[in-house]
Each structure stands twice: as C-alpha cells, then as structure tokens.
C-alpha cells in the first residue's frame, strides 16, 4: 500500500478528483495548504505599500491506495494537474504500513 | 454651515449669522425634510459605511475591534453631544470667539417648537451630532490593530470636547474664524483636518504595529472595504449637500460638485497607480474616492462644477503622493492612511475653496471687501490654527490617558489579535 500526497494548484482540484475517481480511487483527503517551491511567492501592493507574499495557496490531496493502482493514480494526477507553468506542484509517494476502517475493523487493502 | 447658501444671497454680514433662530420663527418643511434625510445619510456613513471600510482593511484577528470602535464611538459621542457638546459648540459663547456656553447643556430649551434657521432645532442638533460621531471614528484608522479599547474610549471622548467642539464653534458656531470669513462648507477643517492631524499624532504617540513595515499586513476583506466605501460616497451627499441646511440651489450644487470630485479623484488615483506601479487597484480607486470627497467637503456649496473637476484631480493626486510619502519615506504607521487622505485632502480643499469660489470659475463669489488673495490668507490662518491646536491637544490628551490606562495592548495581545483579547469573540467561524 502507498500513501500519495499531491500538492497541486487549487483550481486544478476538481479535475484531479475526477481523474482519480476514473482511475479507480475511492476516497481522498483534501487540505488547503500554503507553501513555496520554485514558483516562490509574489508581491502585492496596497496603497503603495509593497508586500512580498512568500507562501502561496495550494491544495494537498492525500490518497491511500493498493500497490497495483499507484502508477495509474500518479498518471491521473499528473495529467489533470499539469498546466506546464512553474508552480504545478509535486507528488510524494510513501509506503503505508497499515490501514484500519474504523466502522468494521477491516485492515489492509480491504480497508482502503 | 448655513452661512453660504442663504446668507450670502441675503447679503447679511457675518456678525448676524448666528444664531439664525433670531430671524426665523417657523420651520420650512422642505428644508426640514432634506436635513432629516441628510442626518440619516451622515450616520449611515459611520454605521456601517466607515466601519466596514476600515474593518475590511485590517487583519482577520482585528476585524471586530474596528467595528466595535466605530460603533461604540457613535454611542458615546451621541451622549456627550447631548450632555454638553452641542451647547459648547453652538450656544451663546462662554469665551467670546473661542467656545460656546453651557446654556443648552442637556439640550435645555430645545423642544418641539424650537427653530434654528429654517429647521427645527432638534433636527439641527441631530444633524450636527452625526458629524461629531464620524470625526472621532475617522481617527480609528490610525491606531487600528493595537490600541486598548478603554483607552480609545477615553481618548475620543476627551478629544471631542477639547478639539472637535471648539473647532466647530470657531468655524460654524460664530467663533473667531467665522468672523474672519473662513470658508468651510461641510467640514474640511472641522472634520477632516482635525481627524487627520489627530490620526498623525496618535500614530506617532502610540507607535507602529509590531513588524511594520517589514511584515505583510494585508487587508483581510477588500470586498467589505469596497462596500463600505460605496456607502461613504452615497452618505457624503447628506454630509455636503445637507450642510446647506436647506433644500435649495446651494444644496443642489453641493451634491453635484461632491459627486464630480469623487469621480475625478477616483480616476486620478487609479491612473496614478497604473502609471507608477503598473496596475490599477481596487483599493486604489476607492481610496481616491474618499480623498476626492474629503477634498471637496470644504468647497462644496462655494464652487461650481469646473472647480470640482480641478479639486477632485488635486485631491486624488495630492493624497496619493502623501500616502506614498508617509508610508515609504516617513515610516509612520498611520495604519489606514487617515492623515494622508483626510488631513491632506481637507487642507488641499480648504486652500482651493479660496481659488474656486470666484465667479469666473463658476463659484458663489467673495464677500464684500474680500478678494481671492485675502480669502486664501484667511484659509491659511484657519488651517494653521486648527492644525496646531489639534496636534498639541491630541498629544496632551494621549499622554494623559496613558497615565490612566496604557494606550497599547501588550505585545502578546497584539499578536493574539484584539478581537479575542479585548472582546472574547472572533469575526468569522467558517
């Protein structure tokens, strides 16, 4: 099992969600986050006072999936989130030790 | 404020101008209806207009504190106005030329049948009260996000009696500046210069917000600010056209020039920003609007549309440059730019009132024995007097209040935000 954390542009969220659903992903957790990478921040100007905004808003999607789905899921995220411009985001894949479904007590792939 | 319209045409001398009740015993229904309406419009400027305008400009954790300050100021100033504020500003002088008396404290003698000029005195009391409310409320922008609520109440209450009331008497209550022929139709000096100067002094005495100017302190809700700004524009018709204290040609012209100046100043600020920084901003265009309205305030009722075009342009550009200068060069954290917009705008307007009162530019003309140059001299004297008195008095009041209650909240509380620390509430639970 793997845990995929994808940080993407907020306005791509709906497309990513649909693409993942098509790829067979059954659930996900979405968080509004802020951060910076190569895109860095930007400046905002209020009555002439210039502020550098370091952290840009992004959306983090977390998906727990079985190993056989990983490639398809990543492909789906990349296709849906890509605009080709700096700041499209990143995908982190980590291995997942165990999953429990609280209601039934199921574990492993059954619980995903 | 009634001076310009009826008096000039009636050709009466300045000495006869106040109290107007002396030559009119019954109220005119048209005049009364318009001033009643204007009174509601001017209160609407503070609640919710100015309150929203300011609240949108602060950070999320201080939004309620700003709304609370504007609201509570409206309540406190109303009570003070009834107790003795109105009397000290507008009743027969206790100190000739400088301060009214106490004969109308608790509004003694102001009843159903009392008449002031061509309107019931109750209406005049209320109309003036809304000015006494908005002036201290304007100062809130200077010390937003860091002043202690109790200290703010003490400061604005004392300030109303020591700065606003005497200034109103000098200029509108038949005081020494009125005697000199000083022209301030709707409060360029009484409202905007006093509020602006007090804001400057308060920002200096109370000090910058933590992290200013390096930390971003972004407006948390500009839609709220734009909403409030639009209410200010509409309310300002009552402020300026209502200051004719009559439903007549002066009121009509005041409304026309008020609107014109607001439009021109908005565009001026927008274009100035566009040229200087590359983009026209929403906050820029609405700030220009406020600047244009503050600048035309003393001149409305004296100038014509041509004057309004120039005054709007001068107000927009002058206040834009003043704002840049305050923030970037001086580094004074007048947080919501009260001085560069209201103080500077008021002063520009007062000076240009002398220029565009001329008949040649479509204005009402000058009093007998007065020229543009002599009126300009009077306007300068008035500006300097109001500026100095307001600056000194505001400084002393702040220092005195600080002996009783610290003006600022602690550093931790400032970080936490005034909403939670002072009011145990938060503006949004989303």
Digit-by-digit pLDDT tens for chain A (112 residues) are 999 999 999 999 999 999 999 999 999 999 999 999 888 778 888 888 888 888 899 999 999 999 999 999 999 999 999 999 999 999 999 999 999 999 999 999 999 8
CB–CB contact B281 A45 (8 Å): yes
CA-wise closest residue to A51 among B225, B411, B281: B281
The A residues from 6 to 35 touching B (CB cutoff 8 Å) are: none
- Give every CB contact of residue B156 below 8 A, 6+ residues apart in sequence: B73, B76, B77, B136, B139
Q: Do A47 and B217 touch (CB under 8 A)?
A: no
Q: Using a CB-CB distance cutoff of 8 angstroms, which residues of chain A are in contact with residue B320?
A: 48
Helical spans, DSSP H, in B140-175: 149-159, 165-172
B403 prior amide bond cis, ω within 30: no
Give the pLDDT confidence score for residue B2 in this predicted structure.
45
Looking at residue B208, what DSSP letter applies?
A: P
Of chain A, the percentage scoring pLDDT greater than 90 comes to: 81
Cβ distance B337 to A52 less than 8 Å, yes or no, reads no
* The predicted structure's pLDDT at residue B5: 41
- pLDDT tens string B379-392: 999 999 999 999 99
Q: What is the pLDDT of residue B23?
A: 47
Dig out the tokens for B249 from the structure.
């040609």
pLDDT value at residue A45? 87
Which residue among B213, B279, B283 sits closest to A47, beta carbon to beta carbon? B283
Q: What is the pLDDT of residue A3?
A: 97
| CB contact A47 to B (< 8 Å) | yes
pLDDT digits (tens, 9 = 90+) for B54-89: 999 999 999 999 999 999 999 999 999 999 999 999
pLDDT the model gives residue B16:
38
Residue numbers of chain B with a pLDDT score lower than 50: 2-23
State how far the Cα of B59 lies from the Cα of B219, in Å rounded to an integer: 6
pTM, entire model = 0.89
- What pLDDT, on the 0 to 100 scale, is given for residue B384? 98
Chains A, B: CB pairs < 8 Å: 33
Tokens of B132: 């006494």
Cα dihedral B41, B47, B52, B54 sign: positive
What count of other Cβ atoms lies within 10 Å of the Cβ of residue B207?
15
pLDDT at B14: 36
Quick one: closest CA in B to A42, which residue? Answer: B216
Q: Which residues contact B201 (CB under 8 A, 6 or more apart)?
A: B390, B391, B394, B395, B398
């Amino acid at each position: 099992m793997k845990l995929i954390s994808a940080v993407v542009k907020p306005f791509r969220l709906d497309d990513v969600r649909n693409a993942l659903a098509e790829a067979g992903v059954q659930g996900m957790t979405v968080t509004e986050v802020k951060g910076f990478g190569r895109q860095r921040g930007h400046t905002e100007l209020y009555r002439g006072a210039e502020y550098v905004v370091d952290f840009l808003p992004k959306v983090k999607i977390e998906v727990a999936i079985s190993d056989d789905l990983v490639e398809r899921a990543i492909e789906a995220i990349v296709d849906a989130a890509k605009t080709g411009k700096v700041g499209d985001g990143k995908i982190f894949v980590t291995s997942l030790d165990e999953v429990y479904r609280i209601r039934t007590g199921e574990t492993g792939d059954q619980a995903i | 404020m009634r001076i310009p319209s009826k008096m000039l045409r009636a050709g009466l001398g300045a000495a006869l101008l106040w109290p107007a009740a002396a030559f009119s015993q019954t109220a005119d229904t048209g005049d009364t209806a318009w001033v009643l309406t204007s009174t509601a419009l001017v209160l609407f400027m503070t609640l919710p207009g100015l309150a929203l305008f300011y609240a949108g400009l602060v950070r999320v954790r201080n939004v309620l504190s700003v709304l609370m300050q504007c609201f509570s100021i409206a309540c406190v100033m109303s009570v003070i106005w009834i107790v003795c504020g109105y009397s000290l500003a507008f009743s027969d002088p206790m100190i000739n030329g400088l301060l009214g008396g106490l004969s109308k404290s608790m509004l003694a003698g102001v009843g159903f049948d009392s008449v002031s000029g061509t309107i019931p005195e109750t209406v005049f009391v209320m109309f003036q009260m809304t000015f006494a409310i908005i002036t201290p409320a304007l100062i809130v922008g200077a010390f937003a996000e860091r002043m202690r609520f109790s200290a703010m109440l003490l400061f604005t209450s004392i300030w109303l009696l020591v700065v606003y009331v005497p200034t109103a008497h000098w200029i509108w209550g038949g005081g020494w500046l009125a005697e000199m022929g000083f022209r301030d139709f709707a409060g360029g000096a009484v409202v905007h210069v006093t509020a602006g100067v007090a804001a400057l002094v308060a920002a200096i005495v109370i000090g910058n917000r933590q992290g200013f100017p390096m930390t971003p302190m972004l407006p948390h809700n500009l839609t709220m600010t734009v909403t409030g700004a639009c209410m200010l524009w509409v309310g300002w018709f009552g402020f300026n056209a209502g200051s004719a204290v009559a439903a007549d040609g002066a009121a009509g012209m005041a409304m026309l020039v008020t609107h014109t100046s607001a439009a021109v100043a908005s565009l001026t600020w927008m274009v100035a920003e566009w040229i200087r920084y590359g983009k026209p901003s929403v906050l820029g265009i609405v700030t220009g609007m406020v600047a244009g309205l503050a600048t035309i305030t003393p001149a409305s009722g004296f100038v014509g549309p041509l004057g309004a075009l120039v005054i709007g342009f001068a107000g927009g550009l002058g206040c834009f440059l003043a704002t840049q200068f305050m923030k970037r060069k001086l580094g004074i954290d007048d947080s919501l730019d009260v001085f560069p917009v209201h103080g500077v705008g008021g002063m520009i307007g007062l000076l240009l009132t002398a220029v565009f009162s001329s008949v040649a530019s479509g204005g009402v003309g000058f009093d007998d024995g007065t020229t543009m140059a002599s009126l300009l001299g009077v306007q300068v004297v008035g500006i300097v007097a109001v500026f100095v008195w307001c600056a000194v008095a505001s400084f002393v009041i702040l220092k005195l209040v600080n002996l009783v209650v610290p003006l600022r909240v602690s550093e931790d509380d400032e970080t936490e935000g005034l909403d939670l620390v002072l009011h145990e509430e938060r503006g949004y639970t989303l």
